[in-house]
Amino acid sequence: MSHGPRSGLAAVSSALLAMSRHLEVRDVLKTIVASARELLDAQYAALGVPDDHGGFAQFVVDGVSDEQWKAIGPLPRRHGILAAMLDDAAPQRLADVRRDPRFGGWPSAHPDLVDFLGLPVRDGDEVLGALFLANKNCPKPDGACGFTEDDEELLGILAQHAAIALTNARLYERSRELTIAEERSRLAHELHDAVSQKLFSLRLTAQAAARLVDRDPARAKGELQQVAELAAEAADELRAAVVELRPAALDEDGLAATLRTQVQVLDRAHSARVTFTGHGVRALPAAQEEAVLRVAQEALHNALRHSGGSHVDVTLERRGNGAVLRVGDDGDGFDPHTVRRAGRHLGLVSMRDRASGVGGRLTVESAPGKGTTIEMEVPGG
């Protein structure tokens, strides 16, 4: 390097600072490659991150114009000297790459590389990529220069930083994927518990209206008003699920009033009698109210869809600081142990998840011929 030791250190330091200012992995890699080229005074620099198919997932170059880059054509495959750095994690310092026995030629538009310095970018035993330079600028044209041991050491430092940047980027990607998976499952539960329930009621009400339309147009009209109401509610639930809002009714009316209204709607929409009783329940923490509402919705849905009963009763009562929700029907009942946990049946699993998610407990009491009672206890604030 032409710089003295202090200015050399300052240059390295400013390169490292520049790297840490970027969040996007590609920007970090670009900064590393540009800094390497500048600090080591080379004509070309590149960094390649391999993929699983013998090619490169990322390939960043510096010292090559966009037109030149396009003219070169597709990314290199991993063979020859690139493979030696990536697969054997071996540093390569060569006076003339073209004379190396592993050299396999390059596309016609590729710049002519002579002296070459390349290092694996590694995290422990794992090779994440390769950082390499070519054509060190010589003070005198045609003077013998090439990369030195000091250059190799400096490039080693940059390679270590590249490793950190790549590792961080991977961690970031993974955490984002996790968040997406969680978000998916939240949305699936939300759609299942709230939206599909409304659509089920809507379908039944529409069928009832169709049956009545010739015989009793006035009642058919009433049913159709129900259809409109249920459709509006389904749309609200859908919107809430998508933007992750808590159902607006909970904020406006509180849990008991929200349950009462929903029960009234279901009572009108279905042939079974659906009732609600509330006993002195105080407001609960938002997450708990939401969980109770969702469990009530699914339990009601199941009772109306599966039980064949003529009564469904919902009660909400205070217990300590918390509350107990009960949804009971006088229908056929079922054996909870024989319901397969996986697959198409999401309801019971979702109710359990919601209860435990807010520190509560869910019990299912049911036996064939004996009706079903779902009980959920939440601890309160």
Ligand X SMILES: Nc1ncnc2c1ncn2[C@@H]1O[C@H](COP(=O)(O)OP(=O)(O)OP(=O)(O)O)[C@@H](O)[C@H]1O
Give the pair of three-digit tokens for residue 135.
């054509």
Q: How far is CA 205 from CA 73, 165, 231, 232, in A?
A: 63, 58, 11, 14
Residue among 154 and 204 whose Cβ is closer to ligand X: 204
Q: Which of the listed partners (Mg ion, ligand X, none) does 110 bind, with a CB threshold of 5 to 8 Å by partner kind?
A: none
- Shortest CB 186 distance to ligand X, Å: 16
Q: Is 94 helix (H, G, I), strand (E, B) or coil?
A: strand
Residues that bind ligand X (CB under 6 A): 192, 302-303, 306-307, 329, 331-334, 339, 345-348, 372
Say if strands 273-279 and 311-319 run parallel, antiparallel, or are unpaired: parallel
How would you label 148-179 residue by residue, b for 16+ Cβ within 10 Å and e otherwise?
Answer: eeebbebbeebbebbbebbeebeeeeeeeeee
E strands present in the chain:
42-50, 56-62, 92-94, 116-123, 126-136, 273-279, 311-319, 322-329, 361-366, 372-378
- Shortest CB 274 distance to ligand X, Å: 13
Residue among 46 and 194 whose Cβ is closer to ligand X: 194
Of 374, 252, 238, 204, the C-alpha closest to 302 is 374
Q: Which of the listed partners (ligand X, Mg ion, none) does 43 bind, with a CB threshold of 5 to 8 Å by partner kind?
A: none
For 168, the enclosing helix (H) or strand (E) is: helix 149-190
Residue among 28 and 346 whose Cβ is closer to ligand X: 346
- Shortest CB 332 distance to ligand X, Å: 5
| Cβ-based neighbours of 4, under 8 Å, separated by 6 or more | none
Q: Which of the listed partners (Mg ion, ligand X, none) does 191 bind, with a CB threshold of 5 to 8 Å by partner kind?
A: none
Residue among 135 and 197 whose Cβ is closer to ligand X: 197
- Shortest CB 195 distance to Mg ion, Å: 13
Residue among 141 and 369 whose Cβ is closer to ligand X: 369
- Shortest CB 333 distance to ligand X, Å: 6
Count residues binding Mg ion (CB under 5 A): 2
Residue among 43 and 372 whose Cβ is closer to ligand X: 372
- Shortest CB 295 distance to ligand X, Å: 11
Of residues 289-348, which lie at the interface with Mg ion (CB under 5 A)? 302, 347
Q: CA-to-CA distance for 176 and 130, rounded, in angstroms? A: 26
Name the closest residue to ligand X (Cβ).
Answer: 347
In the stretch 256-295, what mask flags binding to Mg ion with x, by CB under 5 A?
----------------------------------------
Is the Cβ–Cβ distance between 347 and 302 less than 8 Å? yes
Is the Cβ–Cβ distance between 104 and 79 less than 8 Å? yes
Q: Which residues lie near Mg ion (CB under 5 A)?
A: 302, 347
